[in-house]
Amino acid sequence: MDHPTPLPQFLHDGDFLSVLKAHGYEVAPRLADAAAKFQHEAGKGGIATEGTTVLAIKYKDGVLVAGDRRATAGNLVMYERAEKLINIDSHSVLAIAGVPAVAFEMARVLEHSFKYYLRSQLQEMSTAGKVRSLSKLLKENLPLTLQGVGMVVPIFATYEVANGKDGGGKVYFYDALGAQFEGVDYSASGSGSLSVRSVLHYLNNWGGKPLAKYTESEIIVAALRLLDTAADSDTATSGYNPKSNIFPLVRTITKDGIHEISEIDLAKAYRSEV
Amino acid sequence: MIEEPYRWVEAIANRREYIEDQLRRGSPIVLLNYADGLLLLTVSRETRKIFEVYDRVAFSALGHPADIERMRLVAIDLAHIEGFNRAVNDVSLRRLVNFGMSPALKGAFEQVYSAPYIVKILLAELGDDPEHDSIVKLDYDGSFARSDVEMKEPFDVLAGTAEAEKQMLDYLLEHGGNPRRSLDDALRLAAKTWAVGMETAERQDKVEGEETPPEKIDAEKAFKEHLKTRHVEAAVLERSRPATGKFRLLEEKEIRAALKDL
């Protein structure tokens, strides 16, 4: 044969974005819409919201993910109950820093992409595949990021149980251009992340024992203290707000799935440890 | 020739006969309520027959594997687009069937120059409480029936022949009993009902035309006989499941434990 036969294509590859596209939904313009709204609001005098400090740390049983609740626009506090942790599937949480309008749209796309893949292909998408999906979305958002609007810098935390194997907790972080990195022990993102990262580095190396050996209650206390540290120097981050009784969001991901740490438990930890 | 109305009716009738003949020997499917939701059970040779469509919707079918697969993907695509564009709670079985799957099947069935779908589908949706569960049976020509929702006990069956379905329903009505039955009890009852259906269909095949007085079917014995060459496949929509997706394929050991003293 002169020409190699063309590669056969998957008749159905489980890609939800192409299904959406066939039904008239394009990701990039939708993200652009969200970002344009952000820019418009910002132009009117600073009432566009941005998210702030989120972190993910590997510990003994899996991964802890935490985020403060404050959304800011310039020097204004817009909202004190923002939810920056979004459950994507039974074992994955997306922690977002950046423009919530864009980040929520990405989370929505991801959540359905993973569900769709699992149900249509009858197997769980691999962790690497999931990580790549988010990277692709960030790349779709590239033009906006370069314009300086609609930037999203997420952390993807997951516990690898796909297709029967126990791969343990994983933390991935991204830059705004879509490059992905695996965080060895921890990761933090947002305006308050600088101080958080410094403290995490200190704790991990000289804190008595590495973070990976922390128990659940120890890691929760550490996360609350870290958010408090971030809030101390970063006005865009809130720690615990005693006046209106608002707590950060804290979740753990273990082999059995995602667990939300209740406000009662957080209150207890605050009272005794922070 | 098919432009003439009479020929068209004839062509459709031939089609019906052809499809029904293809479906005759299909392995029946039983849908049964139990204390914590809905159970779907069938016994298959190799290919999987029970699937998850969306958070609260399950799909099962008998027919040609490629057609089952196509209809399954139609349902999954529609459900996910709807769930994405609106909200998870806007995905309803009624809308999936009325405006998506049924028109697709009817369209294919009436295109007499192209191949029809050789498939019969049983769909279940788990409501917030048992009163809001729903079951839909969808035929190869697109006709559908919301079945037994008004009854206190939602259950239904799907089989290759009308007679097999009737025998199965009779068996269920006779042995139905407690709607708060445990999953194990539901598995046992569903397995026996399946055997009644399969046995009826096979006997119909054998006697073809002859009028012999029907012998009573020993469901347990028939079930054991069939299990030599097949395996049980079962899935549940579990109300108490903490995740948003309520569908769970039962593990083999779970099924085996429930059916061991059958």
Amino acid identity, residue B223?
F
Exposure string of A175-196, with b = 16+ CB inside 10 Å and e = fewer, is ebebeeeebebbbbbbbbbebb
Distance CA B245, CA A17 (A): 21
Task: Read off the pLDDT band of A182 (50, 70, 90).
Answer: confident
B144 forms bridges with which residues in the sheet?
B138
The pLDDT of residue A46 is 44
Model ipTM value: 0.87
Examine the pLDDT at B68 and tell me if it is beyond 70. yes
Task: With beta carbons under 8 A apart, name residues in chain A contacting B83.
Answer: 112
**Rg value, chain A, Cα:** 20
Q: What is the mean pLDDT of chain B?
A: 89
The pLDDT of residue B158 is 94
> In this predicted model, which residue has the larger pLDDT, A213 or A51?
A213
Cβ atoms B29, B157 nearer than 8 A: yes
The kind and range of the H/E element at B70 are helix B65-85
**Rg value, chain B, Cα:** 19
3-state secondary structure (DSSP) of residue A209: coil
Nearest residue of chain B to residue A108 (CA atoms):
B84
The pLDDT of residue A163 is 66
- Chain A interface mutation, best of B53, B72, B77, B78, highest count of A Cβ atoms under 10 Å: B77
Nearest CB among B48, B54, B81 relative to A23 is that of B81
The pLDDT of residue B145 is 84
The pLDDT of residue B149 is 45
Examine the pLDDT at A45 and tell me if it is beyond 60. no
The CA–CA distances, whole Å, from A118 to A13, A90, A123, A193 equal: 11, 12, 5, 34
Interval A132-161 mean pLDDT:
85
Comparing C-alpha atoms, which of B121, B174, B129 is closest to residue B33? B129
Nearest CB among B76, B242, B243 relative to A119 is that of B76
Amino acid identity, residue A137?
L
Q: Measure in Å the smallest separation between the Cα of A227 and chain B Cα atoms.
A: 29
Cβ atoms B119, B64 nearer than 8 A: yes
Alpha carbons within 13 angstroms on the beta-carbon side of residue A20 total 21
> In this predicted model, which residue has the larger pLDDT, A51 or B81?
B81
Give pLDDT tens digits for B183-207. Answer: 999 999 999 999 999 999 888 877 6
Comparing C-alpha atoms, which of B233, B203, B229 is closest to residue B218? B203
Q: What is the mean pLDDT of chain A?
A: 86
Range of weakest confidence among A31-35, B13-17, B20-24: A31-35
- For the purposes of burial, counting CB atoms within 10 Å of the CB of B12, is it exposed (0-12), middle (13-18) or buried (19 or more)? middle
Q: What percent of chain B has pLDDT over 70?
A: 93
- Residues of A designated as active site: 52
Please report the DSSP string for B113-130 in residue order.
Answer: TSPPP-EEEEEEE--SSG
Comparing C-alpha atoms, which of B242, B80, B262 is closest to residue B185? B262
Examine the pLDDT at A47 and tell me if it is beyond 50. no
Examine the pLDDT at B209 and tell me if it is beyond 70. no
Task: Read off the pLDDT band of B14 (50, 70, 90).
Answer: very high
The pLDDT of residue A50 is 63
Whether residue A20 and residue B51 make contact (CB cut-off 8 A), yes or no, is no
> In this predicted model, which residue has the larger pLDDT, A165 or B16?
B16
